[in-house]
Amino acid sequence: MILLVDKPAGMTSFGVVARLRRVVTEKRKIEAIRKGETPPKREKVGHTGTLDPFATGLLIVMTGKDTKKCQEYLKKDKTYEATICLGKTSTTGDVEGEITEISDVKPSKAEVEKAVQSFQGKITQKLPAYSAVKVDGERAYKLARRGVEVEMPEREVEVYAIEVLDYNYPELKIRAHVSSGTYIRTLGEDIGKKLGVGGYLTALRRTKTGIYGIENAEELDVLMEKLAK
């Protein structure tokens, strides 16, 4: 089964999976008992690409035999809408980090458009320290939380399309269609650096993964209620 979830802010992707696993497992147990079969102890449930806790939007969750397709969907391109706060930086690249004021210079709309468009195409990103990437066998974010400084690896990704949706300093809203593995937090930071004023994400929403769009997703509570029935 493939479930399209509109992930709420403030919840981890693992948290979404855990809540759905409980409901789906209970549903499978009831079905098995009705058929006179041995009920499963725990239904297989997995997602196809992590969203940060502060982020919202499309999280594809797969259950049972369909979990084998999770890796396939991890490689699909994705579309995001992001809000960048210019003039400041964050230790995590988003609202959850320590914020530092960098500049009060207000870039013009033309400067912003030019900077944003310069990221279209193949680009190299340095992976964020607060990420799940493993460095010497340990998750980078765990090292970062302990204050351990490491040289993060770089990765080539592709921005297929990027556009400015709105700009009212210090808020810059963009939409980006990107390849798998692209960090939008890093993209926001790099746009701020390009403008010479710094920047970090205050909002992030995934609107598409592969052929699936947010318009077909359901809020977590609504989906859980439907599954329970």
Helices (H) and strands (E) in the chain, counts: 6, 14
Catalytic residue flag (residue 94): no
List the beta strands (DSSP E) in the chain: 2-7, 45-47, 56-63, 78-86, 88-90, 99-101, 121-126, 134-135, 138-139, 154-168, 171-178, 199-209, 212-213, 218-219
Q: Which of 52, 136, 166, 190 is catalytic?
A: 52
Alpha helices in 36-133 (DSSP H): 70-74, 109-117
Residue with tokens 């959850």: 96
DSSP 229: -
8 A C-beta contact, residue 59 and residue 7: yes
Query: Which residues are identified as catalytic?
Result: 52
